[in-house]
Structure 1
């Protein structure tokens, strides 16, 4: 089945890097890639007064850049399975993305974000955070700046087994796994001596849901902040993509709350797929 992939862009190197990752990730799949630009997102200004003529010029410039970006993608990517389209809007970024997801039946949003060079953590950009928090109908794959594509053979799936995952929530994980016959590695940070009966049941259910996939379950002692432990797990086991479900009161939801996001880092080394509950 043909995939529809949305690539929001501000025409930066960071956004282009995420697009290149997307093209390589889906190299063997039939896809339509939609480059999306929201003028109000990428052309903000500190001027208190601008003429309508200047606004029109800036919009025309953005449209031209978007068309040029499509042409550039077609030149560097000669994959016959891939088609490129553009979406331009002067509405807000979130409104533009929400509309595009519905109108074009988008399966996945892929965005770039810059990491802190030489550090073990990065702070997600404000636009990326807003998209992950507000877009409820589509998973979002966040790609670190200048990330070199590696086949995602090992996929980490942190969970505390506090809830049951629906088939719909697990579908993006399964589809990602099927691209390269990857191994799914659920990992739980133990905050107590043993799992409760409900947690044991949820773990057994997850095992059943993933029985047709190469899967190994892992447990870690509670020795540091969750961000640090997940980072350690990723580095020690050579994880290629991190996947989480963003549900109410989840680790991701708490991570993205201000001012936590200003103080807590997250792993900058690999792409991060966030699945809405």
Structure 2
């Protein structure tokens, strides 16, 4: 059974990510953990009595719990997949801290969150909740869903890599699972500033990658960089009608390069398609936490 974490602030883009998640796993046994965190507004005067603070906390807690109850009703009204169940978590906590705790405590397989704003990935990389989650959660993949993206079965998946790093099977497993589930073609895309032959290390890593993907239809594409890595991947995704872009997040990866590109270069790159970011796990790290306790989670 899959455990999927859905952080929500009850916005439209959070609802869009929730819809995507439910459709993506409609054929799988899944527990969706709906999370809303809250912190009361800071009291403006240090002379205000503590009772006012308690009232404020009570109000935001009530709003959080009511929001989750309403969200659950909305889900049940719009979806009826028998393999799915839902749990709600209302927490007086900072979002990223609570997510890290739940990932460990429950054994979350994937975090699915919405991204918003006309500036797309530029906003994601400039300090939104999504990028804070990606940078902070070291043992769980994060799938970011664009605000207006309508669900489409991911039958074309792109995996961006430069072959400079050896990938472990545990790191590739989320991509392999999706490709198998949807009988997808996996497009391994290598962006080069100037086209040249792969080094011995790159060839070794490519060959190992192909061994891991032996049960998945896959192709290798080498493309010239257009202005920036992000712009190149955007054009590639459009031309091949890619439904989902996957990357691993590690030092010197494309993901890191994109976060460091000058803002003016990133402006054109919007989150047109879902972005799956997989943390660096290493050789022997299981993707899912061994702990499956679900205490402190309420229906």
Contact 1:155/1:239 (<8 A) preserved: yes
Corresponding residue of 1:3: 2
Contact 1:227/1:267 (<8 A) preserved: no
1:257-272 correspondence to structure 2 within 5 Å:
257=260, 260=262, 264-265=266-267, 266-272=269-275
Corresponding residue of 1:163: 165
Show structure 1 runs of 4+ deviating over 6 A: none
* Structure 2 Cα separation of the partners of residues 105 and 166 of structure 1: 20
Corresponding residue of 1:128: 130
Contact 2:160/2:189 (<8 A) preserved: yes
Q: 1:238 and 2:234 equivalent?
A: no
Corresponding residue of 1:98: 100
* Structure 1 Cα separation of the partners of residues 227 and 197 of structure 2: 18
Corresponding residue of 1:73: 75
Corresponding residue of 2:254: 251
Provide closer, same or farther for how the CA distance between residues 76 and 223 of structure 1 changes in structure 2, counting only shifts above 3 A.
closer
Contact 1:123/1:264 (<8 A) preserved: no
Corresponding residue of 2:27: 28
Question: 1:64 deviation in Å?
Answer: 1.4
Which ranges in structure 2 are unaligned for 5 or more consecutive residues? 46-51, 281-299
Question: 1:47 deviation in Å?
Answer: 5.2
**How many correspondences in the alignment?**
270
Contact 1:255/1:261 (<8 A) preserved: no
Question: 1:36 deviation in Å?
Answer: 0.2
Instruction: After superposition, give the CA deviation of every residue in 1:195-231 in whole Å (9 maximum; x if it has no partner).
Output: 1111111111111111111001101123421111100
Given the alignment, which residue of 198, 201, 204 partners 2:204? 201
Provide closer, same or farther for how the CA distance between residues 39 and 234 of structure 1 changes in structure 2, counting only shifts above 3 A.
same
Provide closer, same or farther for how the CA distance between residues 120 and 246 of structure 1 changes in structure 2, counting only shifts above 3 A.
closer
Question: 1:249 deviation in Å?
Answer: 2.3
Corresponding residue of 2:37: 38
Q: What's the TM-score, normalizing by structure 1? A: 0.91
Q: What's the TM-score, normalizing by structure 2? A: 0.85
Q: 1:211 and 2:207 equivalent?
A: no
* Structure 2 Cα separation of the partners of residues 110 and 175 of structure 1: 16
Contact 1:33/1:82 (<8 A) preserved: yes
SS across alignment from 1:228? helix
TM-align CA RMSD: 1.9
Q: 1:175 and 2:173 equivalent?
A: no
* Structure 2 Cα separation of the partners of residues 190 and 254 of structure 1: 13
Instruction: After superposition, give the CA deviation of every residue in 1:141-199 in whole Å (9 maximum; x if it has no partner).
Output: 00000211111010000110001100110011111112211111101012342111111
